[in-house]
Amino acid sequence: MKSTQDLKNDHVILRRIKDIAFRCSELLYDKKCVPIEDIEIISVLIEEFVDLFHHGKEEKAYFPETKENKLLAEDVRKFLIEHEFGRRIAIMLKVAISNLKKSDFKTRNKNDDKKNLTEPVARFLRTYAIFIEDHTGKEDLFFDKIEEHDIISEEEDKLLGRLYETCKNHMGGQERVGQLKRLIEYLEGCEWMKKS
């Protein structure tokens, strides 16, 4: 089923974002420098690609189509709760980034002050990375079960494809999705991502 495979393909991209978030978190915990602009890009990717685009497709199209199946309803309920959990982490990350931006490190000499402001950013990035790893793994098993049991008909699959297009257009269309993918490539190419 194309609609199910589409979501699994998104998971590959989500795991790339997860790797970036985790690496950034490690560096911040190790008191290494990551440009605040790059941290903000990670937050944008989480908000727009993960939540608005990918979770939007699941919540507005895929899950409503599959939750009627009694075998799947409990999994769908759990995934929706997990999506909300992810949103809460993302909100706390944005607040932590905002607090970090408001501080003026150039006039501070105390590493403790910087550590106190970078630690929440590192913690929320790590928490979000762990969330993505766990969540996508469970959803992939769910999608495998749907494909294995042929739960979605061809007609439903086509409908889901049209609904996915609506979700994509809602968040800015193919152009915005392309921009977000280029931002992932940009971050993967950053020097701080390559350093061991």
pLDDT mean across residues, the chain: 91
Residues 63-113 pLDDT 10s: 998 877 888 889 999 999 999 999 999 999 999 999 999 885 544 445 555
Side chain identity, residue 120: P
Residues 152-187 pLDDT 10s: 889 999 999 999 999 999 889 999 999 999 999 999
Cα distance between the two ends of the chain: 40
H or E stretch at 142: helix 111-148
The answer to whether residue 8 scores a pLDDT higher than 60 is yes
Which residue has tokens 């990375």?
129
Residue that wins the pLDDT comparison between 150 and 57: 57
What does pTM read for this prediction?
A: 0.91
Residue that wins the pLDDT comparison between 42 and 171: 42
Cβ-contact 41, 187 below 8 angstroms: yes
- pLDDT over 70 percentage in the chain: 93
pLDDT mean over 6-32: 97
Within its chain, how far is the Cα of 116 from the centroid? 25
Domains and CATH numbers, the chain: 2-194 (1.20.120.520)
State the Cα–Cα distance between residues 21 and 100, nearest whole angstrom.
Answer: 16
pLDDT reported for residue 95: 96
